[in-house]
Amino acid sequence: NTQKLWGGRFTGETDPLMHLYNASLPYDWKMYKADLEGTRAYTSGLNKLGLITPEELVKIHYGLGEIKKEWDENKFVRHPNDEDIHTANERRLGEIIGRDIAGKVHTGRSRNDQVVTDMRIFCRDTVNEKLLPGLKELVNVMVKRAEKEINYLMPGYTHLQRAQPIRWSHWLSSYATYFTEDLKRLKELLERFNQSPLGAGALAGHPYGIDREYLARELGFQGVIGNSLVAVSDRDFVVELMFWGTLFMNHISRFAEDMIIYSTAEFGFIKLNDAYSTGSSLMPQKKNADSLELLRGKSGRVFGDLAGFLMSLKGVPSTYDKDMQEDKESLFDCLTTAEHSILIATGVISTLSVNSENMVNALTVDMLATDLADYLVRKGVPFRETHRISGECVAKAENLNLSGIDKLPLEQYKSIDSRFEADLFDTFNFEKSVERRDAIGGTAKSAILKQLSSLQSQI
């Protein structure tokens, strides 16, 4: 303990198990780049205060660069005493440029403002470099596919029962809309959490009057968190990001569930590419949609990440308590799972094949019963009445064992309602049914093309 960063007041050693229990380096090493950047900006701030000479600053920045290379090249050697990424980097800096200079970098700083600075930078970089570009590509791939396959008709479902005909592209466009909202939500979140906690000290503030706005600018933050107690203890951004991840995975999961259903032999609408399927160790014929099942299954773990950390956070008194170290494993798991899921979903959707014949064959003429009701509406009959009349026609065709309402003779129609005329049979056309729905958001070709171009302009 006497060798530890905080060892001055200690005489006894840490229990070895306690050391392991306490250490976060096994997972927070991921933030090494953010940690080094933070120290670079912070030491520049100390230099402006005259607490570090220009010569010392040059050496410090050189040392930080060397450490970054070691991490980048996977050559950083961890010391058994390293507790977390902050202590590891500072220890290494001392070895490279000498302890007398390295010993100055933490002046006025605490790991409390340091760790949360690292976290915010790490989150921002993950959002900017991985999640946003990934989502953009996913939406792009879906939009492209929807444009290309706009002529394919399929059943739209409610309650998983055949409801009304829609275009396959309309279904694609629906999930592309969810993912576009996810992308926008993430951008809004980024705006909110890209604020600097650095210079807040352990909790009470900075004793040398460091220019916190300068630190914020140096690190690419949009502003400074205005209360030092909040700066060190606020983990709302972690919660919000994990809520973002939860909602995104919820969308991914429903998307995957649809495709699992559509890819069964019973539906046969789509076929996954071999690249995203796996086989069975026992049944030679099997090809399973494991990619989709994992997209659905992993969402459960991400929901757990959010719920678990909320529980850890709820009883923490102000300001920093070690409970907060628990933010990392959940958050990293959530972000990594979301990132990988985006990539897998993009791969799945860009490589699957569509069986448009099976789709169109799954359409049944009873799915046009609403259109039949609308036919009479166009002749001036109130919809409530036409709904009942159309229902009677469906029942009549069923009773006569006909394959569908299109097979019911005109006389039967007329006996149900005298306002039916021969042109009623024009109703039984899936293409026309779909094309009638051309108001904003509908399944007509023109309406879908508008949706797709609007999505493209939003991403």
Torsion sign over Cα 425, 429, 434, 435: negative
Which residues, in sequence order, are bridge partners of residue 156?
A: 164
Nearer to ligand ARG, 324 or 369 (CB): 324
Is residue 258 at the binding interface for ligand ARG, with CB under 6 A as the rule? no
What one-letter code names the amino acid at 420?
F
Q: What are phi and psi of 280, to 5 degrees?
A: -105, 145
Nearer to ligand ARG, 81 or 325 (CB): 325
Please check whether residue 240 is in contact with residue 211, taking contact to mean a CB–CB distance below 8 angstroms: no
Is residue 84 at the binding interface for ligand ARG, with CB under 6 A as the rule? yes
Is residue 260 at the binding interface for ligand ARG, with CB under 6 A as the rule? no
Q: Measured between alpha carbons, how far is 62 from 349 in angstroms, rounded to an integer?
A: 46
Is residue 24 at the binding interface for ligand ARG, with CB under 6 A as the rule? yes
Is residue 319 at the binding interface for ligand ARG, with CB under 6 A as the rule? no
Residue 13 carries which DSSP code?
Answer: P
Q: What are phi and psi of 363, to 5 degrees?
A: -75, 135
Please check whether residue 244 is in contact with residue 238, taking contact to mean a CB–CB distance below 8 angstroms: no
Instruction: Give the residue, chosen from 128, 325, 351, 456, that forms a contact with ligand ARG under the rule CB under 6 A.
Output: 325
Closest CA to 142 of 440, 354, 407: 354
Instruction: Give the residue, chosen from 47, 89, 112, 386, that forms a contact with ligand ARG under the rule CB under 6 A.
Output: 112
Nearer to ligand ARG, 125 or 293 (CB): 125
Of 24, 44, 79, 159, the catalytic one is 159
Instruction: Give the residue, chosen from 34, 115, 306, 349, that forms a contact with ligand ARG under the rule CB under 6 A.
Output: 115
Instruction: Give the residue, chosen from 111, 206, 296, 298, that forms a contact with ligand ARG under the rule CB under 6 A.
Output: 111
Q: Does residue 340 have an active-site annotation? A: no
Is residue 312 at the binding interface for ligand ARG, with CB under 6 A as the rule? no
Is residue 174 at the binding interface for ligand ARG, with CB under 6 A as the rule? no
Unique residue bearing structure tokens 């930078």:
121
Nearest distance, CB of residue 324 and ligand ARG, angstroms: 5
Nearest distance, CB of residue 325 and ligand ARG, angstroms: 4
Q: Measured between alpha carbons, how far is 245 from 175 in angstroms, rounded to an integer?
A: 16
Nearer to ligand ARG, 111 or 387 (CB): 111
- The tokens for 279 are 């086989």
Closest CA to 213 of 228, 198, 191: 198
Mark the segment that binds ligand ARG (CB under 6 A) among 36-44, 109-117, 390-398, 408-416: 109-117
Is residue 364 at the binding interface for ligand ARG, with CB under 6 A as the rule? no
Is residue 52 at the binding interface for ligand ARG, with CB under 6 A as the rule? no
Work out the widest C-alpha separation in the chain, in whole angstroms: 102
Q: Does residue 169 have an active-site annotation? A: no
Nearer to ligand ARG, 117 or 346 (CB): 117
Nearer to ligand ARG, 83 or 366 (CB): 83
Q: Which contacts qualify for 394-403: CB closer than 8 Å, 24 or more apart? A: 394/366, 394/369, 403/365
Cis peptide before 427 (omega within 30 of 0): no
Binding-site ranges for ligand ARG (CB under 6 A): 24, 28, 84, 111-112, 115, 320, 324-325
Residues designated as active site: 159, 280
